[in-house]
């Protein structure tokens, strides 16, 4: 189960330079919290994932079709449009923040 | 709402130049003083500095020892250096670090114990908690040197760890958690678990007795399941209705007195009631509860304009007092403070909390919550959040333990590294 979950969000962890820093002011509601678990230093970073990959993962966590430990409980708190915005922002911003 | 967000989404996709923060203009560059360099204050200081504001961080200690994973130090599988962080990375990002204590807040300025006066446009307090040494008869600041609370990580953590190392096999460890609210609601029970982990390998005849001031506790079914699986017979929990409420302690005889009984402890971990740290009271942002009521949009005090409070010191409605909450609040508050300094209206935020508890090095579970804002108050989003499932296979518990370590590495990187 863990392998499945990790593989779903696997990506190349890049180093974080000042140039890569996101502008937190453009974050849609909820998106700033993601980096608490998925920012630099994480085993499950979001950096490098596309909007579609993040969005479909969140939707599958939400409906339970993708195994999760905590993400199912968190994704359940967001509607489809919120998830789309968060996915787009994280993909556009590099996902390190 | 959906249409607006779809439109905004298209707008986001069409905008290429989002990667670099747009520096604030000279007029809107604000002077922000942040008091307290924990998960809330350190995160907020570096986000505000990155946005382009003039940020001074006031912190009493040159390094910060984290409460998260301090129970792993007590449990013998993490070391103090692994949970200690300095502020060099923040200074490198342009945060001005002042090592000292804020003692007074006047009109637009903070006074430090050194006499230095720091003027601000906005003040962000993230001072954490202080132990109430007037709340439990016998439990004074001096008593904490014999009966450590270890509820601020650092020397208290090392003291409790040393007492457990010195204890003879067969000793009684008493843990006395306070009534709600307090810093890290599941923390005392994680501590009981990890002390049991330590003792079961080295001093297996020892017992742990939790004398509680409340009838129920955070993640209770998960902890009880873990205790019966991992440490059968080692941990007893006694709620007030069964005589568990601690009425008095005597550090000279190491006695813990409840309504019905007296216990002589080999090690007594007394966790007293808490309140927002002193500077919050000096600033006038605490109410009769001892905590700081704040806006769910900006974390600005309900009591004093221009002062924001985040982390364990604030009363953020339904959000628990956790490092994850403090970090999430810090980012929301930083963005809101920026908007206010530029004369714009802050957006309604959404926040998360995810709180890991380790019952053993390879056994963890979580409580999670999603929070929305309405009328300036945070509410828990229905149908989201909650606990890890009971009866989960060992692979799920060990996966959550790995994610707990990953979370710790990530959040300490975001705040300090």
CATH of domain B26-128+277-415: 3.50.50.60
Point out the residue among B2, B50, B384 whose CB comes nearest to the CB of A77: B384
Question: Contact B50/A24, CB-based, under 8 Å?
Answer: yes
* A and B: number of Cβ contacts within 8 A: 173
Q: Do domains B26-128+277-415 and B143-274 have the same CATH topology?
A: yes
Read off the tokens for B84.
């200690």
Nearest to B145 by CA among B273, B257, B62, B252: B252
> Chain B 87-146, CB below 8 Å of chain A: which residues?
93
As for the ipTM of the complex, it is 0.91
B165: closest CA among B199, B118, B194?
A: B199
pLDDT computed for residue B19 by the predictor? 39
B59 C-beta neighbours (distance < 10 Å), count: 25
pLDDT (tens digit, 9 = 90+) per residue, B341-391? 999 999 999 999 999 999 999 999 999 999 999 999 999 999 999 999 999
Position B239 pLDDT exceeds 70 = yes
CATH 3.50.50.60 is the classification of domain B143-274: yes
What gap in Å lies between CA B95 and CA B87, rounded to an integer? 9
Give the up-direction half-sphere exposure of residue A1: CA atoms within 13 A in the CB hemisphere.
15
Q: How confident is the model at residue B171 (pLDDT cuts 50, 70, 90)?
A: very high
Q: Is B40 helix (H, G, I), strand (E, B) or coil?
A: helix
Give 10-residue mean pLDDT values along chain A (97 residues). Answer: 39 36 88 95 95 98 97 98 97 66
User: Of B102, B206, B198, B190, which Cα lies nearest the Cα of B150?
Assistant: B190
Say whether pLDDT at B15 is over 50.
Answer: no
Length of chain A: 97
- Domains (range + CATH), chain A: 30-97 (1.10.760.10)
Phi, psi of A92 (to 5 degrees): -70, -35
In chain B, what residues touch A48 (CB-CB under 8 Å)? none
- For the residues B249-255, what does the mean pLDDT come to? 98
| 3-class DSSP state of B307 | strand
DSSP per residue, A7-49? HHT--PPPPP-GGG---GGGPPTTGGGTHHHHSTT-SS--TT-
Specify the pLDDT at position A89. Answer: 95
pLDDT band at B26 (very low <50, low <70, confident <90, very high): low
Average pLDDT, chain B: 94
Question: Which residue in chain A is spatially nearest to B350 when comparing CA positions?
Answer: A30
How buried is residue B111: exposed, middle or buried, by Cβ count under 10 Å (0-12/13-18/19+)?
A: middle
Decide if B262 contacts B255 (C-beta within 8 A): yes
**Model confidence at B25, in pLDDT bands (50, 70, 90)?**
low
Confidence of residue B107 (pLDDT cuts 50, 70, 90): confident
**What pLDDT, on a 0 to 100 scale, did the predictor assign at position B378?**
97
Give the pLDDT confidence score for residue B129 in this predicted structure.
Answer: 98
User: What integer pLDDT is reported at residue B5 of this predicted model?
Assistant: 39
Residue pointed to by tokens 């742990």 = B208
Say if residue B139 is exposed, middle or buried (CB neighbours under 10 Å; 0-12, 13-18, 19+).
buried
Is 80 exceeded by the pLDDT of residue B317? yes
Where is pLDDT greater, at B82 or A2?
Answer: B82
Q: Where are the domains of chain B?
A: 26-128+277-415, 143-274
B151 by DSSP, 3-state: which? coil
B407:A19 CB<8 A? no
pLDDT of the residue at B235: 98
Do the chains contact at B12 and A70, CB–CB below 8 Å?
no
How far does A14 lie from chain B, in Å, by closest CA?
Answer: 14
State the pLDDT at residue B12. 38
pTM as predicted: 0.91
Find out whether B150 and B71 touch, Cβ atoms under 8 Å: no
Q: Please give the pLDDT value at position B94.
A: 97
- In whole angstroms, what is the distance from residue A95 CA to residue A88 CA? 10
- CA B24 vs CA A22, A88, B21, B53: distances in Å: 14, 24, 9, 7
pLDDT value of residue B325: 98
> Pick from A7, A19, A41: which is nearest to B407 by CA?
A41
Query: Could you tell me the pLDDT band of residue B24, with boundaries at 50, 70 and 90?
Result: low
pLDDT of residue B146 exceeding 50: yes
Give the pLDDT confidence score for residue A94 in this predicted structure: 63
**E strand or H helix at B401, and its extent?**
helix B394-415
Contacts of B42 (CB under 8 A, 6+ apart): B57, B64, B87, B90, B330, B415, B416
Q: Which of B339, B384, B406 sits opposite A42 (nearest CB)?
A: B406
- CB-based contact B383:B377 (threshold 8 Å): no
The predicted pLDDT at position B18 comes to 37
């Amino acid at each position: 189960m863990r392998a499945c979950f990790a593989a779903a969000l696997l990506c190349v962890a890049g180093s974080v330079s000042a140039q890569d820093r996101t502008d937190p002011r453009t974050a849609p509601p909820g998106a700033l919290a993601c980096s608490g678990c998925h920012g630099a230093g994480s085993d499950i970073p979001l950096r490098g994932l596309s909007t579609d990959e993040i969005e479909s993962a969140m939707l599958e966590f939400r409906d339970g079709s993708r195994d999760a430990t905590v993400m199912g409980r968190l994704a359940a708190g967001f509607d489809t449009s919120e998830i789309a915005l968060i996915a787009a922002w994280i993909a556009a911003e590099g996902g390190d923040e | 709402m959906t249409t607006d967000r779809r439109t905004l989404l298209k707008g986001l996709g069409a905008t290429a130049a989002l990667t670099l923060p747009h520096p604030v203009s000279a007029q809107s560059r604000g002077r922000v003083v942040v008091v307290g360099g924990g998960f809330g204050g350190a995160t907020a200081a570096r986000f505000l500095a990155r946005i382009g504001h003039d940020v001074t961080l006031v912190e009493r200690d040159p390094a910060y020892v984290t409460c998260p994973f301090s129970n792993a130090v007590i449990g013998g599988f993490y070391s103090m250096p692994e949970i200690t962080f300095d502020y060099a990375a923040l200074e490198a990002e342009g945060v001005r670090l002042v090592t000292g204590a804020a003692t007074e807040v006047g009109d637009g300025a903070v006074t430090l114990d050194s006499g230095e006066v720091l003027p601000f446009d906005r003040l962000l307090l993230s001072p954490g908690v202080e132990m109430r040494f007037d709340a439990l008869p016998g439990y004074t600041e001096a008593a904490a040197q014999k009966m450590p609370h270890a509820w601020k990580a650092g020397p208290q953590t090392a003291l409790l760890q040393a007492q457990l190392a010195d204890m003879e096999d067969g000793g009684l460890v008493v843990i006395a958690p306070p009534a709600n609210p307090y810093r890290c609601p599941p923390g005392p029970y994680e501590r009981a678990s990890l002390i049991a982990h330590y003792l079961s390998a080295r001093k297996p005849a020892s017992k742990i007795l939790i004398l509680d001031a409340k009838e129920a506790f955070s993640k209770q079914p998960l902890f009880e399941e873990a205790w019966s699986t991992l440490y059968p017979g080692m941990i007893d929990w006694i709620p007030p209705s069964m005589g568990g409420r601690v009425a008095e302690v005597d550090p000279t005889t190491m006695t813990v007195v409840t309504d019905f009984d007296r216990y002589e402890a080999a090690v007594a971990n007394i966790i007293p009631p808490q309140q927002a740290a002193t500077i919050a009271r000096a600033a006038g942002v605490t109410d009769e509860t001892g905590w700081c009521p704040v806006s769910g949009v900006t974390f600005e005090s309900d009591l004093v304009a221009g002062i924001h409070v985040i982390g364990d010191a604030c009363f953020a409605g339904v959000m628990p007092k956790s490092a994850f909450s403090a970090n999430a609040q810090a980012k929301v508050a930083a963005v809101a403070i920026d908007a206010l300094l530029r004369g714009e209206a802050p957006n309604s935020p959404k926040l998360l909390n995810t709180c890991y508890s380790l019952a053993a090095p390879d056994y963890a579970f979580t409580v999670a919550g999603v929070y929305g804002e309405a009328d300036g108050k945070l509410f828990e989003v229905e149908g989201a959040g909650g606990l890890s499932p009971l009866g989960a296979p060992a692979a799920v518990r060990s996966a959550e333990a790995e994610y707990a370590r990953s979370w710790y590495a990530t959040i300490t990187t975001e705040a300090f590294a």
